[in-house]
């Protein structure tokens, strides 16, 4: 039986979640329906997964994660191959999307570096690098980076001590902190007397791209970066070049998140390379590397477009870099990017159990079904924080097409009216308590932004591959929460 929807909303049926065979870009690559109608991921049915990992649980398809990392590494290596007149290219996985030592080992093993934004993320990167490349590699950790605003003295010193490939400074104050840290490292004997710290500068390019205001990071009135338009970036470059403790290695740009249109990246290439040329004219130093950041979009619902592939992104960037360097008469820089969401996001699905159903009459025959699940904003804050849209489908069985659909809102258990998991989705009208819902594309900024609000325990992350299963992160317990309390 069909249920009417408000006249202002999309027609019933248009918001149903696409099955994996219809929109494979929404789901991990191994996802499909088994003979019994239940969803399968990594060779395991939903029932098998939940037998060892009760809901709510994030399910990571390891083969999918590995494949996405390898694809980015290959795309950058090919498009920026020196044989094509370029100067090499690579991708650094943006660890803020989701990072554990297991994930870090995977992306490093597939040829990526890791971009970190805190002492904790950097420590995970260092630990994984030691396992993949050997302990000696951590002394010259060129495959790791540290960025972010407001870095502490300790964070900058740690990054310099490991000689990370990307230490991205965000302000004039951080330039002073980096110089002071190098002096300390020289005095302690960790650095040679004339050794310098290699740094990059994060630029505010003035190019706005992406979605919600909170995830747009290149306009002037925000906390990140050093302004190109005001001349502050050129001044910062002069400060680095004249500091005897530092070497200006490169320039960094990040223009936003969840970007589908590559035009913004092409514009950013122009701003960054023209500043690079200006710095060379002013100081004699032509930066070796340009990091064009991340923010590459993914589909979350059937209404979203299919995102550009890593190959398409890399080719667009390579063409822009090649063309402008020829125009300026500058040598082509080494180019790096920082995909995070586009690697982790589609590789993971969240499974929830339906715990309650509440039909709300909206007038004129319209109704909405509020579907309560056993998780909520503590395992995915993005809908409340950014109005992020997700979708969901019934995962433990194939829905009966004769049952019809109902306009639904999937909500969590928290004491907030904004505790919404999926704001609008069309679900089977025969949905029942105990059914399992699968929400795709939750690998980026789901578990990494999870909280203990209402003293919920954070869900675990189960890995699946080729019919096997284990824990990436085990689920928290109430005992874990109590163990943090003081006397």
Asked if residues 67 and 76 have their Cβ atoms less than 8 Å apart, the reply is no
Whole-angstrom Cα distance, residue 430 to residue 454? Answer: 31
Is residue 294 reached through a cis peptide bond, with omega within 30 degrees of 0 on the bond before it? no
- Which among 153, 287, 325, 415 is annotated as catalytic? 415
Number of H helices, E strands in the chain: 12, 21
Contact indicator for 122, 159 with CB cutoff of 8 Å: yes
C-alpha span between 263 and 98 (Å, rounded): 27
**Tokens 């970066």, residue?**
225
C-alpha–C-alpha distance, residues 18 and 20, integer Å: 6
Listed residue (485, 460, 478, 481) closest to 470, CA to CA: 460
Could you tell me if residue 272 is left (phi over 0), alpha (psi between -120 and 50 degrees) or otherwise beta?
alpha
SS3 content of the chain, % helix, strand, coil (to 5): 35, 25, 40
Active site residue 325: no
The catalytic site residues sit at: 415
């Amino acid at each position: 039986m069909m249920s009417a929807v408000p006249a202002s909303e999309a027609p019933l049926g248009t918001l149903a979640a696409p099955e994996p065979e219809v929109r494979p870009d929404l789901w991990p690559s191994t996802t499909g329906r088994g003979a019994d109608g239940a969803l399968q991921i990594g060779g395991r049915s939903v029932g098998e997964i939940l037998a060892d990992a009760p809901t709510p649980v994030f399910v990571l398809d390891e083969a999918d994660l590995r494949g996405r990392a390898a694809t980015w590494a290959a795309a950058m290596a090919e498009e920026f191959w020196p044989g094509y007149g370029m100067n090499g290219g690579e991708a650094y996985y943006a660890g803020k999307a989701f990072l554990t030592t297991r994930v870090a080992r995977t992306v490093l093993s597939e040829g990526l570096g890791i971009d970190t934004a805190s002492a904790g993320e950097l420590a995970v990167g260092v630990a994984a690098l030691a396992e993949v490349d050997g302990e000696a590699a951590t002394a010259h950790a060129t495959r790791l980076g540290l960025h972010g605003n407001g870095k502490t003295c300790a964070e900058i010193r740690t990054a310099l001590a490991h000689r990370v490939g990307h230490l991205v400074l965000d302000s004039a104050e951080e330039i002073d902190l980096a110089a002071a840290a190098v002096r300390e490292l020289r005095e302690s004997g960790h650095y040679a007397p004339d050794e310098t710290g290699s740094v990059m500068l994060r630029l505010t390019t003035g190019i706005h791209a992406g979605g919600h205001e909170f995830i747009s990071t290149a306009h002037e009135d925000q906390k990140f970066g050093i302004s190109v338009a005001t001349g502050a970036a050129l001044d910062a470059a002069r400060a680095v070049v004249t500091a005897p403790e530092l070497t200006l290695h490169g320039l960094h740009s990040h223009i936003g998140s969840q970007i589908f249109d590559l035009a913004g990246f092409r514009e950013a290439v122009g701003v960054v390379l023209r500043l690079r040329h200006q710095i060379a004219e002013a100081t004699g130093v032509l930066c070796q590397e340009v990091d064009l950041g991340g923010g590459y979009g993914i589909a979350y619902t059937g209404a979203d477009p299919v995102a550009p592939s890593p190959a398409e992104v890399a080719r667009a960037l390579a063409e822009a870099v090649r063309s402008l360097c020829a125009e300026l008469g500058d040598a082509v820089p080494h180019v790096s990017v920082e995909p995070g969401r586009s690697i982790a996001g589609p590789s993971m699905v969240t499974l929830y159990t339906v715990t309650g159903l509440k039909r709300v009459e909206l007038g004129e025959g319209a109704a909405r079904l509020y579907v309560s699940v056993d998780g909520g904003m503590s395992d995915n804050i993005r809908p409340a924080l950014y109005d992020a849209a997700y979708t969901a489908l019934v995962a433990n069985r194939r829905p009966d097409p004769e049952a019809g659909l109902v306009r639904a809102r999937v909500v969590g258990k928290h004491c907030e009216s904004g505790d919404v998991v999926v704001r609008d989705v069309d679900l089977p009208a025969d949905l029942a308590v105990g059914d399992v819902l699968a929400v795709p594309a939750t690998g980026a900024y789901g578990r990494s932004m999870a909280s203990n609000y209402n003293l919920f325990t954070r869900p675990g992350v189960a890995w699946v591959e080729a019919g096997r299963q284990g824990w990436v992160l085990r689920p928290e317990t109430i005992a874990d929460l109590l163990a943090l309390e003081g006397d």
